[in-house]
């Protein structure tokens, strides 16, 4: 029966189907896969042609390739300063990163930097000598920009029924900088987010995203979703942002090229300059593109065509009750369950899909406790983009942990909710004051996504 349903989705216009034809089991519409193991985030769209599958596979290989410093016969160009050596080193199994433990150095968490003000395009103002991202590693003969240490302060709280819980408040320290740090330096920690399903989110029309915005809270519900407008390098103008923790990237290609450049020090046709340009460590030489145009496009296509895992136990009575509680708490006001992709005759696999990502792709004020204090284009220091929730219940299976939020500070789904403030404070309090049985039901619903 599900096979028949998938066939219907792949060829029918959404408006031709009744509301009951859509199934939340199929989180990614026809680009849903029924996988719940460690590779649940790593399957290609099931509807790809053989030619597109080949491009996806080339991109998969590129996503996993390890760069080394030049000169080298294979994959040269790393650095000279960098955060990691491959895409998969941060996005393990195409999933979620976590902060280091026990004093380990960063692997899947990075630190964005800036100083007050804005650059020529309205984006973060680069920190002199450091740029917009800290690189804590360097190739031989160069100096890492600084070492990052994280201290946690555990604070005690109680649910409405008296049950105790704790939250870990992180404090970040930059030690042994290669030059003195600017006195007015602003920092923002970011863990690597999952990369599956992004092609479907890219295919949601700007107009549909903007229709969910309510920057002035005209309906007086306390929720004021706001778009971010960011610099689009290839178009040479500001366009709607939708990717990254602050929606600070306009599309998958630019996000991919930016990760190559800042995370690995790899140049491309999108970002031609070394990430250390302007520093004393910059050699001033023209190295050429260190990742080819074709491979960069293939890697972006790989990310664009990663399928979404299906729901589990979506018809379970307790899951359905948890879904009701999720809605009653107001969580669905930002984590919008259902979106629809636009018509795209050149890319039929993503065209006219009804998907269930649980996001509005907009910025929201999340309160002082989650604030990084660092503006990013239109996003202020307390605003974050609503992250998609699809697949979140498989995080432990795929990535071996349950660290959530922009810096991984939340150690469980319940903690992630309890960190919510600002526009989400009422939803947090609704959850905090539920009975334990109802709290468990809401979490059970999240685990089904």
Q: Does any domain span residue 254? A: yes
Of all helices (H) and strands (E), which one includes residue 221? none
Give me the helix-helix angle, 317-328 and 436-448, nearest 10°: 100
d(CA 52, CA 46): 11
- Please say whether the beta carbons of 197 and 41 come within 8 A: no
Which of 26, 88, 45, 41 lies closest to 396, judged by CA? 41
Tokens, residue 123: 């984006």
Contact criterion met (CB below 8 Å) for 175 and 149? yes
> How many whole angstroms separate alpha carbon 290 and alpha carbon 254?
16
For the chain, state the CA radius of gyration: 22
Q: What is the pLDDT along the chain (449 residues), one digit of tens a residue?
A: 333 333 333 333 333 333 444 688 999 999 999 999 999 999 999 999 999 999 999 999 999 999 999 999 999 999 999 999 999 999 999 999 999 987 778 889 999 999 999 999 999 999 999 999 999 999 999 999 999 999 999 999 999 999 999 999 999 999 999 999 999 999 999 999 999 999 999 999 999 999 999 999 888 888 999 999 999 999 999 999 999 999 999 999 999 999 999 999 999 999 999 999 988 888 877 778 999 999 999 999 999 999 999 999 999 999 999 999 999 999 999 999 999 999 999 999 999 999 999 999 999 999 999 999 999 999 999 999 999 999 999 999 999 999 999 999 999 999 999 999 999 999 999 999 999 999 999 999 999 99
Compute the distance between CA of residue 261 and CA of residue 269 in angstroms, rounded to an integer.
11
186 closest CA partner among 143, 125, 231: 125
Structure tokens at 258: 């930016």
Buried b (16+ CB within 10 A) or exposed e, 1-28: eeeeebeebbeeeeeeeeeeebbbbbbb
Helix (H) or strand (E) holding 50, with range, is helix 50-64
Instruction: HSE, CB side, 13 Å, CA atoms: give it for residue 186.
Output: 17
User: Token pair 């959530």 is at which residue?
Assistant: 404
pLDDT at 10: 35
- Residue 280's domain comprises 2-97+190-310+330-433
Cβ–Cβ < 8 Å for 382, 368: yes
pLDDT score, position 320:
96
In a domain, 182, yes or no: no
Is-contact 434 160, C-beta < 8 A? yes
pLDDT the model gives residue 22: 65
Residue 344 covered by a domain:
yes
On whether the CB atoms of residues 230 and 241 are closer than 8 A, the answer is yes
User: Any idea what DSSP says for residue 349?
Assistant: G
Nearest alpha carbon to residue 110 among 74, 75, 146, 76: 146
Closest by Cα among 242, 241, 204, 247 to 29: 204
64 in any annotated domain: yes
Structure tokens at 423: 């526009």
**What's the token pair of residue 448?**
């089904």
Are β-strands 308-309 and 32-33 bridged in parallel, bridged antiparallel, or unpaired?
A: parallel
Element containing residue 259 per DSSP (H, E):
helix 252-264
Instruction: Confirm whether 320 is domain-assigned.
Output: no
Kindly give, in sequence order, each residue whose CB lies less than 8 Å from that of residue 185, ignoring residues fewer than 6 positions away: 113, 114, 115, 127, 130
Give yes or no for a contact between 152 and 189, defined as CB atoms under 8 angstroms apart.
no
Q: State both tokens at 140.
A: 């031989």
CA torsion 228-231-234-240 (nearest 10°) is 10
Domain-located, residue 235: yes
Instruction: Look at residue 128 and tell me if it is in a domain.
Output: no
Does residue 167 sit within a domain? no
For residue 2, give the H/E element and its range: helix 2-11
- Number of domains into which the chain is organized: 1
What is the C-alpha to C-alpha distance for residues 387 and 449, in angstroms, rounded to an integer? 13
**Considering only CA atoms, which of 99, 98, 112 is closest in space to residue 372?**
112
Whether 174 contacts 147, CB under 8 Å: yes
Angle, CA 38 vertex, CA 35 and CA 40 arms, to 5°: 35
Residue of 67, 353, 68 lying closest to 205 (CA atoms) = 353
């Amino acid at each position: 029966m599900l096979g028949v349903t998938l066939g219907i989705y792949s060829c029918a216009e959404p408006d031709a189907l009744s509301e009951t034809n859509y199934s939340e089991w199929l989180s990614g519409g026809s680009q849903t896969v029924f996988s719940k193991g460690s590779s649940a985030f790593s399957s290609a769209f099931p509807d790809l042609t053989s030619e597109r599958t080949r491009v996806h596979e080339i991109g998969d290989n590129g996503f996993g390739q390890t760069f080394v410093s030049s000169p080298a016969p294979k994959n040269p160009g790393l650095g000279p300063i960098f955060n990691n050596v491959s895409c998969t080193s941060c996005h393990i199994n195409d999933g979620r990163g976590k902060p280091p433990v026990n004093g380990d150095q960063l692997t899947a968490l990075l630190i964005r930097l800036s100083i007050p003000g804005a650059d020529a395009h309205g984006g973060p103002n680069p920190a002199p000598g450091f740029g917009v991202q800290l690189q804590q590693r360097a190739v031989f003969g160069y100096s890492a920009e600084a070492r990052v240490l994280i201290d946690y302060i555990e604070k005690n709280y109680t649910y409405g029924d008296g049950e105790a819980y704790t939250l870990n408040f992180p404090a970040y320290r930059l030690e042994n900088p290669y030059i003195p740090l600017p006195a007015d330096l602003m920092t923002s920690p970011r863990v690597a987010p999952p990369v599956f399903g992004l092609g479907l989110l890219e295919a949601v029309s700007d107009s549909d995203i903007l229709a969910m915005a309510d920057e002035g809270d005209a309906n007086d519900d306390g929720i004021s979703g706001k778009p971010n407008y960011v610099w689009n390098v290839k178009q040479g103008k500001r366009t709607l942002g939708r990717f990254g923790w602050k929606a600070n990237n306009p599309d998958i290609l630019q996000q991919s090229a930016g990760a190559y450049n800042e995370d690995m020090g790899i140049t491309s046709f999108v970002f031609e300059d070394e990430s250390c340009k302007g520093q004393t460590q910059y050699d001033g030489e023209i190295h050429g593109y260190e990742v080819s145009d074709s491979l960069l496009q293939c890697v972006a296509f790989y990310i664009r065509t990663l399928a979404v895992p299906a729901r589990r136990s979506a018809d379970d009575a307790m899951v359905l009750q948890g879904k009701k509680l999720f809605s009653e708490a107001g969580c669905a006001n930002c984590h919008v369950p259902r979106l629809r992709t636009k018509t795209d005759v050149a890319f039929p696999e993503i065209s006219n899909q009804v998907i269930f990502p649980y996001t509005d792709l907009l910025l929201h004020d999340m309160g002082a406790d989650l604030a990084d204090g660092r503006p990013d284009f239109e996003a202020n220091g307390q605003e974050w983009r609503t992250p998609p929730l699809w697949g979140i219940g498989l995080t432990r299976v795929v990535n071996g942990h349950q660290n959530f939020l922009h810096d991984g500070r939340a150690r469980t789904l319940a903690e992630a909710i309890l960190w919510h403030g600002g526009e989400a404070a009422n939803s947090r309090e609704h959850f905090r004051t539920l009975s334990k049985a109802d709290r468990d039901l809401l979490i059970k619903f999240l685990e089904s996504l």
